[in-house]
Amino acid sequence: MKTKQLSDPILDTNMRRVINREHHDPFEVLGLHLQAGHILVRVLLPNCESVTIDGADTKFRRLADSDIFECNTDPGNLSVPYQLRWWDRQGQEHLCYDPYCFPPQISEKDLQQFNQGEHIRAWQFLGAHYRVVDGVQGVLFSTWAPNASSVSVVGDFNQWDGRRHPMRCRGPSGIWELFLPDCHVGALYKFEIKNRSSGRLHTKADPFARCAELRPKTASVVTAQSDYLWQDDHWYQQDKDWQHTPISIYEVHLGSWRLHEDARFLSYRELAHELIPHVKKLGFTHIELLPITEHPFDASWGYQATGFFAPTARFGCPDDLRYFVDCCHQANIGVLLDWVPGHFPKDDFALANYDGTALFEHEDPRLREHPEWGTLQFNFARHEVKSFLISSALYWLEQFHFDGLRVDAVASMLYLDYAREAHQWLPNAYGGNENLDAVSFLQQLNYITHTECPRSVTIAEESTSWPQVTRPTYVGGLGFSMKWNMGWMHDTLDYCEQDPIYRHYHHQSLTFGLLYAYSENFILPFSHDEVVHGKGSLLNKMPGDNWQQLANLRLLLSYQFTYPGKKLLFMGTELASREEWNERQSLDWSLASKPSQVGLQLLISDLNKLYCSLPPLHYYDFDTKGFKWIDCHDASQSIISYLREAEGNFVVVILNFTPVIREAYCVGVPTTGPYRELLNSDAACYGGSNVGNGGIIQAKEKSFMGFPCHLSLTLPPLGCLILQAHHDD
């Protein structure tokens, strides 16, 4: 045991600083110290009446009416680590190891990398970690609070008394640590932080907590290293060429997908056995979870996170979430996580003003506040914030086997003037509105996640024309794998909301998107954002009577699944509800058995099957080789037609956006011979009027619209046809 020679004058000053919570290293006062050939042991025990070292001939004295006790003993009389036996003022006896006889636990390398913004797995040493030190079981607590004069760990193990366990600061790193022996897994804790300049005390939840109490409680929870045995080896043995494989995403808010009859949430494990079969039945390849990082406010849907390493306790413990992801993989379903690195809420117990200063956020209000959401924005210029966020990203990918991250609100990160008036923002060093620190962070995030987890994808929710969002960082791009195509989504919904009689005036809404469709790797989303806040459900957006609304919805989904780009649908679309989504209640599952909804579910299932099984519909989602217009000019009849192609194979897609049946409608095709109707969205089995072409249609060898052959078709009202050249096997 290394000890430090200390002189009495310094001890007197330091003792007062420890008592006043102004000491950066209480180990200079507490614990073991060499003094004139003896061992001096000093302990801090509030509410203590008397104390001794268990098994040693020692006698402690109280110093100056304080809670500090000290004794001198011979070196041969003491073994380290030692236990204190003490009696409180109520006469109760306690036996515990002295936390101040243990050496520092965090390596200098970890400290340095965290401060330099280069630590990508900071959860491995920051937060609360159960471990054995010198044969003693306990928990290592650590946190980053560079502007604190003292930090204490408080919890149910010390009556939430900040005097009991002051931590030591590891030099200029700003990281405070304390190994607390006898502390156990499941203990509740926070950090009590005293600001250096104001002297105010703040009690904060652990930013690196891997488990937290169920809201409205806010304490962090000590959790053991997971020993969950994953069963998804087969999933990781598959070739995952995401650019050329089908990706069809079912977006889910776990808190409202389905509830128990008494309105309790389903657990992660219950969801594994109810949600996964539903998704398999519909044919989706992936599930995307709205944020399940811990958050205090249900109505934020998880987008205002306070726990960037803790799965929300609403649905169970961390291993329960691992079980859910594992079951998805065993069912051959990928899992994506909605992740929010742009901002965080102002709740007093969390990241805001963490050490009494703007630590995770900017100090300047023109950079700190997010005026649209009433939240605080991360300071991406601070190296430690980058270590924090990138560690969070890798944590979910590595520790929970998520297959990718959908990064929320990227536009709000990229632009300094996002949702701000002219006087509310601060230009960058070059006078522009680009947030250069956020750009650097996003590039670093994407480079590291793709390097460390090469099978993973990152998806940007980015609504502007920022260039090269999905291009590699080495060519100046942001490095995302894919991006939501918000322009296509808005144009398509605006078009489909028009009464069919007026659609010919808006034909460019269907055709304009192809001008930029391959500028990025796009996902085509109909997300939760489009069915809330008075926007109405997808069904209610559609014009006409009930039959026409359902036909329009079937046509809209058929268009989405045949257009270039990966696919995303928000939960409940398959139920064709007239009520917009409400996070406070379950989806209306009573609709699921109605004939029209059964037909819609069958259509979604069949669209997914075609999309996944036919390479022309997915292989070149991001390449111009995969698409060719047949006719984009028939505005007068509101009809578009195109080919989807891959490696010499093709399918023909024709969409009629009016309720008029079109007889003998000609479309050009590449080859003669029979064509099979793979899907007709107006089929009776989907709830349609069953207008079609009888399954097989002969293409005639006569050129039309620049193609050598043509088909003469009957187009169903508000319907989509998908056809393929038919060859007898």
| Residues forming the active site | 408, 461
SS3 of 595, please?
helix
- Contact (CB, 8 A) for 403 and 457: yes
Nearest Cα to Cα of residue 39 among 98, 86, 94, 93: 98
Total Cβ atoms within 10 A of residue 706: 10
Residue type for 262, please? D
Q: Maximum CA pair distance of the chain?
A: 108
Residue 718 token pair: 């508000």
Token pair for residue 192?
A: 């009590």
**CA atoms of 467 and 56, how far apart (whole Å):** 71
Of 708, 725, 714, nearest in space to 662 by CA: 714
Kindly list the distances between the CA atom of residue 401 and the CA atoms of 124, 230, 309, 396, 405, in Å, as whole numbers in the listed order.
Answer: 17, 9, 14, 7, 11
Question: 300-320 burial, b if ≥16 CB within 10 A, otherwise e?
Answer: bbbbbbbbbbbbbbbbbbbbb
SS (H, E, C) 126-193: CEEEEEEECCEEEEEEEEECCCEEEEEEEECCCCCCCCCCECEECHHHCEEEEEEECCCCCCEEEEEE
Using the structure block, give the residue that is written with the tokens 């989602």.
621
H/E stretch holding 600? helix 595-613
- Distant-in-sequence contacts of 231-238, Cβ < 8 A, 24+ apart: 231/326, 231/330, 232/325, 232/326, 232/329, 232/330, 232/401, 234/329, 234/330, 235/329, 235/330, 235/332, 236/455
Per the CB < 8 A criterion, the answer to whether 720 and 558 are in contact is: yes
- Using DSSP bridges, classify how beta strands 175-181 and 220-221 pair: parallel, antiparallel or unpaired: unpaired
Dihedral sign (CA 385, 387, 390, 393): negative
Identify the residue whose tokens are 């992936």.
Answer: 286
CA-to-CA dists, residue 701 to 143, 492, 670, 711, angstroms: 75, 34, 10, 9
Contacts of 69 (CB under 8 A, 6+ apart): 42, 43, 44, 45, 48, 51, 60, 61, 62, 63
Q: Which helix (H) or strand (E) holds 423?
A: none
Q: How far apart are CA 617 and CA 565, in angstroms?
A: 9
- What DSSP character marks residue 704? B
User: Among 679, 662, 669, which residue's Cα sits nearest to residue 713?
Assistant: 662
